[in-house]
Amino acid sequence: MADTKREAPEKIRCDACPVLCFIAEGRSGACDRYGNEGGKLVRLDPLTIIENTIESGAKAVPFLKDGDGMDWDGDLVQSQRPFVTAVGAGTTYPDYKPAPFIVSQEVNGADMVTIVTEGIFSYCGVKVKIDTDRFIGHERAVVRVDGEPVGHVMTSEYGSKMLSLGGVEHLTGGSKKEGRVTCDALLKLCNREAVEMTIDEGATLVVQAGEPPIVNGEPERLMRVGCGSATIGMFASQWIDHVDEVIVVDDHITGVLSEHQAGKMLDVKPTGIKINGRRSTPGRYFQVANPGTGWGGTDIDDPLTILKPADAKLAWEGLRLLMVSTTGEQYAYFELDAALEPVAKPLPEALQQSVERIAE
């Protein structure tokens, strides 16, 4: 029997980046951008020329959607001439080799040369905005996917929860599994796919671009109209003819109508209703409760727990009190009895309309 040796396919070395992959015939390198076709190094992800893309009938996003591009005041980017960017350029930056794309053109008599280097993925990350006022985790808490750390909770912005995911510490600074899981999560998020994640000592989330977040298995239906103080500023004029006091419960700033500047300008008289928390400026209170998934992103289910005994010198029997969250999802209406204790009553129709408007 003849002794035959199986010849391994010849590999070629890619020098597009410092990784220097050896690539077998028909395979691609670690970046999936360069491959071995017939013993030649070829680029698998072609350079896209926007004009060619438009001429071929492919979908493209216009620079100025409702115009011809001539409304732009500056002269750097005009839609009628090419503008070179590095978006989607390729694998990693070349430490020694020249930039893979060098484009020149004449602008106002001057030669302009644009160098497009290739973006290194190991430094990539995403900032995720989650439209919920519910508590998802403390700032700096670790965010995990499949048990691996992929980022952390950032400080909230404009009422939304924020996550910082990816970056070099997770893509290359941890274990191989951590890097792979982080990379996979980033790609899925950027491709509008759903990603399930957990936050240490916090919530379980399912996040997907263009879809409401799912917090602890519950899809988010509403988004806060603003903090408690802002809500009072927007709706005070709709309340003054139908209620004596309004408390807008919020994890950040809880608002009290009669003390608030809006109430003062509308001549709302003092009611003697007092609440827990740290008083900031008039009508604005911090830390009325702990963060949570209840009223206004707090941990309370019964809004009366944030009330102190009413001031008998100012409060009166029959005083009408509306308590509402910043999303309009939770609300309750009370009237004070002879002992100045709040008693739950059906919500009047006029107040129902304002609550529904908060929730819009």
Model pLDDT for residues 252-274, shown as the tens digit of each residue: 899 999 999 999 999 999 999 99
Q: pLDDT value at position 64?
A: 59
Q: What residues have CB less than 8 Å from 57, skipping those under 6 apart?
A: none
pTM, two decimals, is: 0.65
Pairing of the two strands 11-13 and 22-24? antiparallel
The DSSP result for 38-69, as a single string, is TTEEEESSPPPPHHHHHHTT-----SSTTS-S
Quick check: 51 pLDDT over 80? no
Mean pLDDT of the chain: 85
Domains and CATH numbers, the chain: 9-118 (no CATH), 121-219 (2.40.30), 228-359 (no CATH)
The mean-pLDDT minimum among 66-70, 102-106, 134-138, 164-168 falls in: 66-70
Helix (H, G, I), strand (E, B) or coil at 356: helix
Across-strand partners of 161? 130
Mean pLDDT of 94-112: 71
Q: Which residue has the tokens 């010198």?
A: 313
Q: pLDDT value at position 120?
A: 62
Q: pLDDT value at position 19?
A: 80
Q: pLDDT value at position 85?
A: 58
Q: pLDDT value at position 18?
A: 73
DSSP H stretches of helix in the chain: 50-55, 168-171, 176-190, 228-239, 261-265, 349-359
Q: pLDDT value at position 43?
A: 83
User: Can you tell me the distance from the alpha carbon of 257 to that of 232, in angstroms, rounded to the nearest whole number?
Assistant: 6
Mean pLDDT of 182-205: 95
Quick check: 32 pLDDT over 90? no
Quick check: 214 pLDDT over 90? yes
